[in-house]
Amino acid sequence: MVRHVVIGDLRVQQIQQKGGRRSWTIVWPEGTVHYEADRFLRLHDGSGTRRTYAYLLVDHLRWLERECLAFEAVELRDLQRYMGIVGAEVRMPLGEPWRVGKCPYGRSALSAAAACLKGFYRHQASLGVGVELGEKLDGTHLPSRADRRRAFLGHVTATMPANPLAPKRPHRRHPKMLPDGARERLLEVVNAARDRLVVTWLADGGLRIGELCGLHLVDLHLRANVACGECRSPHLHVCHRSDNPNRAEANTKQPWRTECGAVTCELIKRVSPAMIHTYFDYLTTEYPRGAGHGMLLVQLHGVGAGQPWAPVGARRMLARAGERAGLGLVKPHAFRHSFTSAVLDAAYGNLLIARDAGGWASAATVDEVYGHVDVHDPAFDAALRTVWGGAR
């Protein structure tokens, strides 16, 4: 099965493979594959990365067509100019507007676009096309403190890979979180047991929306001392499945398996009593009998009733509930920010506890995003007064 999204002349085409796996490529208007783009995209087996790179690369290829630039003629300055056109801060003339009517890329999208372009042109250089540009993109920099903290036991090489197209990254502090009392106000306005489960599980579990919508019933071990033997308390396993019918995928790809009917996976999330309560309330009142797909969240109304619920449906439900509750736009990831910050505060700044509770890959990421103190904290105030007193 093939599904495509038209973007100008070139288009991104999705291909449904055997076993439920999906892949993405770029094709010309007549349907022939864009050979250079497809050859590069085949290097990325992860469905999420391949899809992201396809949509980023197709925009760049359309820009090349408009600028009448061949691959072998592209220079580093051309790539920097393109990055400036889509939203990066560069000091040079940008030329004619591009992506008219569309918002510029945010910082995360700019970083992904820089990585995509560097990978694409370095791959072209390895095949003998634009070798000089490939050498300029293959730069290095001295290891920073962040590089050393991310490395295992601090062992790093003398130099680290650098990307001249990547935007500068400021330290990320104070992420967007939920307003005070948002959980209670949302629970008052949602109308279904499934929606109460979504709000509670996002708030207490720190789950990403793709992880929540990708859960299967077999992933849930909501009793103590379950057969998996990996956690004595009630918990759930976050398993990456690329063939979910609702196309929800966990961000982390930890290996998992099923033994004696019990799922085992390294990524474990503890489950609160409130999460268990909303689960049984939903399962006994709204979950359809005989659902063959075995997924946790299902559609409740319409022609797709009983089918797995897609992440976009959960996002829209939260957005509607946020408007009714007077909270404005509520995004699922705001629950994760609030959860991680609350765990870090409760654990007295222990990064390892916050990392494992939220399922982060690195404690350095937790420290960079959430590692801040409240200026009104008594300990913060006492530390300052000690310093001030010692300076007299």
Q: Which domains does the chain have, with CATH numbers?
A: 2-139 (no CATH), 182-336 (1.10.443.10), 341-391 (no CATH)
- On the CB side of 161, CA atoms within 13 Å amount to 10
- Res. 151 pLDDT band, cuts 50 70 90: low
Residue 300 region, left (φ>0) first, then alpha (ψ -120 to 50), else beta? alpha
Q: Is 91 helix (H, G, I), strand (E, B) or coil?
A: coil
Q: Is 250 helix (H, G, I), strand (E, B) or coil?
A: coil
Neighbours of 191 (CB within 10 A): 11
- On the CB side of 18, CA atoms within 13 Å amount to 0
Mean pLDDT of the chain: 82
Residue 174 region, left (φ>0) first, then alpha (ψ -120 to 50), else beta? left
Output the CA angle 73-118-77, nearest 5 degrees. Answer: 45
Q: What are the CA-CA distances from residue 153 to residues 2, 40, 141, 149, 156 (Å)?
A: 46, 34, 20, 8, 9
pLDDT (tens digit per residue) in 35-64: 999 999 999 876 678 889 999 999 999 999
Query: Closest Cα to residue 134, out of 117, 157, 147?
Result: 117
CB-based contacts of 233, cutoff 8 Å, min separation 6: 224, 270, 271
**Is residue 202's pLDDT more than 50?**
yes
Most confident residue range from 87-91, 121-125, 352-356: 121-125
pLDDT (tens digit per residue) in 13-27: 988 877 777 889 999
Q: Is 387 helix (H, G, I), strand (E, B) or coil?
A: helix
0.95 exceeded by the pTM?
Answer: no
**Is residue 4's pLDDT more than 50?**
no
Return the pLDDT at 318: 95
Return the pLDDT at 231: 80
Q: What are the CA-CA distances from residue 168 to residues 102, 117, 171, 352 (Å)?
A: 23, 16, 10, 27
- Res. 106 pLDDT band, cuts 50 70 90: confident
Say how far apart CA 10 and CA 31 lie, in whole Å. Answer: 9
pLDDT (tens digit per residue) in 264-294: 877 788 889 999 999 999 999 999 988 888 8
Query: Are 297 and 309 spatial neighbours (Cβ–Cβ below 8 Å)?
Result: yes
